[in-house]
Amino acid sequence: MRLPLVNPDDQASIDIEKVKEMVDVYINRGFTYFDTAYPYHAGKSEEAFREAVVKRYPREAFTVTSKMPVWAINEQADLERIFNEQLERCGVDYFDYYWLHALNHERVEVMERMDGWGFIARKKAEGRIRHIGFSFHDDSALLAQILERHPEAEYVQLQINYLDWDSPAIESKTCYDLCVKHGKPVIVMEPVKGGSLARVPREVEQLFRDYNPDASPASWAIRFCASLPGVMTVLSGMSNMEQLDDNTAFMQDFQPLNQQEQDIIARAKEVIREAIAVPCTTCHYCTDGCPQSIAIPEYFNLYNMMHQFPEQKSNCKLYYDLLGKNHGHASDCIECGQCEAQCPQHISIIDNLKLVAQSFETA
């Protein structure tokens, strides 16, 4: 996800030539892990992986992860149909890693009813999957139940970053500790929290620079996650060559955080929490079914930017107006609630859209 786009307003318009350039640098620097999923980039992410990687590199040069879109399963036949479609989209005969996508209370029940766990276990036995697991977006009590009920899960993907580490809503540390207790390797998603930890307040940026002038804010965030024992992989949705250059540079010779760096991050966390108004990670899960076509993540990004840098309010207002030409405005929200049901961050989207409207739509 978050691949470079030809048209910023169209998630399906992946700039495949730029993706190819990024893939070449990534693989040439010794990295092999690629993560995709059925809904990413309006269903075009898996195809982009095929074009940029599979058609251009031998199978042993990479590993690929995809996921079963649990929310799209209405009957057991859907499992087989979608899985086969994903293999075709990706252009591979098997997935190195495959899991049940974004489990929560509702989706756990669906997978139990549809025998989703049995399905991926059978595909593993057939050689179509090498390793099975799940990604998770809910509370620690549910995670504990899943780990007890399904010891066949070989790993868990969790949202972890230094801002959410002790968040009562996300419970990153509690969930991580549960995985460690059960001996499950952890794959980290959202280490930079949708890019928000790459665009930190000036006070935090200065804290980082005073210690290491050459280290980017994103590198601090990713190293925090990679320093945790039991973490197998840290994912980063890289949108351009600059981000890829930065990430691969400090991860080629990875150094865990020392105690002084941990203390700096603790201070940074305090400052950022005071500055971030809406903890959106720009995953776009909320927008797929929005009847008003509201650019929810983009509006929250502008709202956060205005709060962190008040002098930029006029520019943020300008971009808000530009987005409003092709999308619904924040005030167009009809409060249907579908966005909040899909949000992995459990954000009160409806209430926050009202704040966005007050900030950008009033004189």
pLDDT at 169: 66
Under 8 Å CB-to-CB from 131, ≥6 apart: which residues? 96, 97, 98, 124, 154, 155
pLDDT exceeds 80 at position 89: yes
* Domain boundary, last residue among 239, 274, 309: 274
If you average pLDDT over residues 294-314, what whole number do you get?
84
SS (H, E, C) 123-171: HHHCCCEEEEEEEECCCHHHHHHHHHHCCCCCCEEEECCCCCCCCCCCC
If you average pLDDT over residues 292-321, what whole number do you get?
85
* C-alpha distances out from residue 235 to 31, 113, 215, 220, Å: 12, 30, 19, 14
Query: Residues 207-225: pLDDT tens digits?
Result: 999 999 999 999 999 999 9
pLDDT at 325: 87
If you average pLDDT over residues 78-100, what whole number do you get?
98
Domain assignment present for 84: yes
Q: What is the pTM of this model?
A: 0.81
Domain assignment present for 151: yes
Q: What CATH number does the domain containing 119 carry?
A: 3.20.20.100
Residues 125 and 213 in one domain: yes
Residues 317 and 232 in one domain: no
- Among candidate residues 57, 27, 36, 18, the one with its CA nearest the CA of residue 248: 27
Percent of the chain with pLDDT over 90: 80
Residues 318 and 210 in one domain: no
* C-alpha distances out from residue 219 to 198, 209, 242, 250, 274, Å: 8, 12, 13, 7, 21
Residues 309 and 205 in one domain: no
pLDDT at 195: 84
Residues 110 and 240 in one domain: yes
Residues 48 and 82 in one domain: yes
Domain assignment present for 28: yes
pLDDT at 296: 96
Domain assignment present for 11: no
Residues 245 and 324 in one domain: no
Residues 217 and 320 in one domain: no
Domain assignment present for 5: no
Amino acid letter at 301?
N
* C-alpha distances out from residue 58 to 44, 87, 276, 353, Å: 22, 16, 44, 47
Q: What is the mean pLDDT of the chain?
A: 94
Tokens representing residue 256 in the block: 């865990």
> Are 9 and 52 spatial neighbours (Cβ–Cβ below 8 Å)?
no
pLDDT at 323: 87
pLDDT exceeds 80 at position 305: no
pLDDT at 331: 96
If you average pLDDT over residues 294-307, what whole number do you get?
88
Under 8 Å CB-to-CB from 29, ≥6 apart: which residues? 248, 252
pLDDT at 88: 98
pLDDT exceeds 70 at position 188: yes
* Domain boundary, last residue among 274, 306, 332: 274
* Domain boundary, last residue among 274, 308, 337: 274
Higher per-residue pLDDT: 306 or 339: 339
Residues 250 and 328 in one domain: no
pLDDT exceeds 80 at position 150: yes
Structural domain boundaries enclosing 159: 16-274
Domain assignment present for 285: no
pLDDT at 11: 93
- Among candidate residues 247, 244, 239, 242, the one with its CA nearest the CA of residue 218: 247
Q: Which residues pair with 133 in a beta bridge?
A: 99
Domain assignment present for 282: no
Residues 224 and 347 in one domain: no
Most confident of 53-62, 275-284, 287-296: 53-62
pLDDT at 7: 95
CA distance 179 to 140: 10
Query: Residues 1-24: pLDDT tens digits?
Result: 999 999 988 999 999 999 999 999
pLDDT at 345: 87
Under 8 Å CB-to-CB from 304, ≥6 apart: which residues? 196, 275, 276, 277, 278, 280
Amino acid letter at 18?
K
Tokens representing residue 327 in the block: 């999308």
Domain assignment present for 228: yes
Residues 54 and 114 in one domain: yes
Residues 300 and 268 in one domain: no
Q: How many domains would you assign to the chain?
A: 2
> Are 189 and 158 spatial neighbours (Cβ–Cβ below 8 Å)?
yes
Q: What count of residues does the chain have? A: 363
Higher per-residue pLDDT: 84 or 326: 84
